[in-house]
Structure 1
Amino acid sequence: MKIPKVQLDSDVSVGVKQLSDYLMTGVVESHNVELVYKDQENQEFRVFLNDHRLVKTPGYETLIMNIDEISFFEENDFLFIRIKRGHREFEYLIGDLYEKNSREIEEEREEEIPQQ
């Protein structure tokens, strides 16, 4: 009797969700094979492939294991990640690259301040 090997890739979705949560409050500095972003405290983080793992440094946090290749790319001011695992390929939207200009930010701040 043969039991088929089932490939579950839910760990990829979970790791990508965790990465997109980090980027939600961060600012992307650069991306290609490695992603560099800064958080709200202006601390710089790097996300890259190391020994078949997607890791975030500093701290060397493993986000996804058992992957063969990654790349980051942008399309229409959105940031995507492409992950290859074996013969399968996954693409996920992980953030936006839209940077508000200083005038838009100032207008938003004025809207938040209650008028007296």
Structure 2
Amino acid sequence: MSIRVTERDHELLFERAQKAGFTLSEFARAKLLCDPTPPTRPVAPEDISTEATVPLSPEAYAARQLADQVRRIGINLNQIAHRLNMLDQPMPSELPPLLTDIRRYMQLIWARERR
């Protein structure tokens, strides 16, 4: 996984990683996984990378997890709808409101991630 950051953000992340005694990758991985105790080995010069990975806040991580779960539910409901269409069965009356709810939840999650 990689993401783009500004040059200044990259410098700040790199400085924080070095100050904590980690490579940029170790520091980002620990932050991304919300690990309060990342590995404690010293940074070796050959481990220093110019690639940047921005750690997610716990809120952003939770929002991504929630979005993934809601997406999976939507996929399952879509498969149910597809099967009903294949079998020429009417859609249960409960299905359209569920699909509407899922779309609404996804829009809320996406709006929150954009902040």
TM over 0.5: no
When you count strand as a share of all residues, which structure comes out higher? 1
Greater C-alpha Rg: 2
TM-score under structure 2 length normalisation: 0.27
Q: Which has the higher contact order (CA 8 A, sep 6+)?
A: 2
